[in-house]
Structure 1
Amino acid sequence: MGQNDLMSNAEDVADQFLRVTKQYLPHVARLCLISTFLEDGIRMWFQWNEQRDYIEATWSCGYFLAACFVLLNLLGQLGGCVLILSRNFVQYACFALFGILSLQTIAYSILWDLKFLMRSEQHAPANDRGSSFKSCELRPWDLEVPSVMASLLQTTTRGS
């Protein structure tokens, strides 16, 4: 009887919690799904000069084109995040984020760096964790987000 009472109480608490938080869960889920893009866009804002200089040096494209590329990345990521959180044009926003990710993959030469693509965060050296953007690379989990995000956001959009 003690175990049944405990389970019943736990179910009641969980049910009460879900009733109170049900309206916020879709927003929290969307925030979790776009958090990588949001963080990357904010970091790009604060590391504007480093990003622009890296693109300018890597592609020898000049100051203006490098600044335009970084601005496109910044606005594409933050704009896509805002659209997804506001539940406006979600499919277009997912497509934009996927496009920005594809553009970054080419611009930062990630596609041809097999060692980078195959590495795991667990096996990365301790001093490399969290500093991948400083060396102008995407983190490994950035490459997986758009397909998962698009499918999850589609299902949450249909339900709401």
Structure 2
Amino acid sequence: MEQLRDASEKVEKSIDSYARHFKPYFPVVARSLLVSTFIEDSIRIIVQWSNQLFYLKVYRGFPTGINHLFLLYNIIVMLVCSWLSISKKYTEYAVAGLFSIVIGQSFAYGLIFDFSFFMRSLSVIGGLLILLAESLLSKRRDMFAGIPNISEADRTKYVLLGGRILLVFLFFSFLFSGEMNFFRIVVVVIGGFSCILVALGFKAKYSAMILIAILSIFNLLVNNWWSIDTNNSQRDFVKYDFFQTLSIMGGFLLLVNVGPGSFSVDEKKKDY
């Protein structure tokens, strides 16, 4: 048992040493990935403007004019808030704006009861919470020494806990959707175990790295929208799934950078 612990510590030190070279780039890459689904969605609405208006009016019952305002709101908020998120400006407002997009689109397009979409949306919200926690932590570091802010610290740990738990909901869609083959079983077992560790905050950073690797491979192999004919109606759905998965990867990468927070096994171990 002791030898296994020593081997584990050596692996962790090796990973830390390797990751240290890339750590300065983690935040901006993570934030860019996190908002990628919103950027892609805003571009898609602009390109398919007339089709989107028609769908909202005919199939969703939006009155003329309201459908225009709804789409304009989505485009402006997604682009502005994505830029604010990447540049770390007014992050709280950016997160609130993007959160309103996730909720609004779920109801407007009638996808709130679609299980796979619902699980993915929860994971994206989890990523947004991690982004909010990163902003709150940055503010705490910028405060003058000797002036503690207990309420800010408490809020951050709750936000991180909620973000960690919501992030892993993506893997519930793997459990109940698609045909079970050897590849999916391997993903579910390894990914599911890593998700439990992330939710508990035990070896959270390394578990998040494993999930990023799994999602990267899965996204390239399964959500390969570029190989689907442009006239195929499924292309947009697969493309949407691809960018949503990128956003969730961004959430996990932010978790690697920020850490699991004080409501975690990793932090509790430091007290002993």
C-alpha separation in 1, matches of 2:98 and 2:89: 14
**TM-score for both structures, normalised by structure 1:** 0.67
User: 1:56·1:66 contact (CA, 8 Å) conserved in 2?
Assistant: yes
C-alpha separation in 1, matches of 2:122 and 2:136: 25
**TM-score for both structures, normalised by structure 2:** 0.42
From 92, 101, 121, the equivalent of 1:142 is 121
C-alpha separation in 1, matches of 2:36 and 2:43: 10
User: 2:39·2:79 contact (CA, 8 Å) conserved in 1?
Assistant: yes
User: 2:111·2:118 contact (CA, 8 Å) conserved in 1?
Assistant: no
Cross-structure match for 1:99: 100
Deviation, 1:87, is 0.5
Deviation, 1:159, is 4.1
Give the letter for the 1:61 counterpart: P
Map 1:4-153 onto structure 2 (within 5 A): 11=14, 15=17, 17-57=18-58, 58-62=60-64, 64-111=65-112, 114=113, 116=114, 118=115, 120=116, 141-146=120-125, 148-153=126-131
User: 1:101·1:143 contact (CA, 8 Å) conserved in 2?
Assistant: no
The runs of at least 4 consecutive aligned structure 1 residues that moved more than 3 Å come to: 17-20
Give the letter for the 2:121 counterpart: D
SS across alignment from 2:78: helix
C-alpha separation in 2, matches of 1:158 and 1:73: 26
C-alpha separation in 2, matches of 1:97 and 1:25: 21
Calculate the aligned-residue CA RMSD, in Å: 2.6
Q: Which runs of 5+ in 1 are unaligned?
A: 121-137
Deviation, 1:22, is 2.4
Closer/same/farther in 2, CA of residues 52 and 99 from structure 1, 3 Å limit? same
C-alpha separation in 1, matches of 2:119 and 2:43: 18
Deviations 1:77-102 (A, max 9, x none): 11111110111111111111111221
C-alpha separation in 2, matches of 1:143 and 1:55: 23
SS across alignment from 2:40: helix
Q: Which runs of 5+ in 2 are unaligned?
A: 1-6, 139-272
User: 1:44·1:51 contact (CA, 8 Å) conserved in 2?
Assistant: yes
C-alpha separation in 1, matches of 2:37 and 2:80: 14
- Number of positions where the alignment pairs a residue of Structure 1 with one of Structure 2: 128
Give the letter for the 1:105 counterpart: S
Cross-structure match for 2:135: 157
C-alpha separation in 2, matches of 1:108 and 1:140: 16
Deviation, 1:47, is 1.4
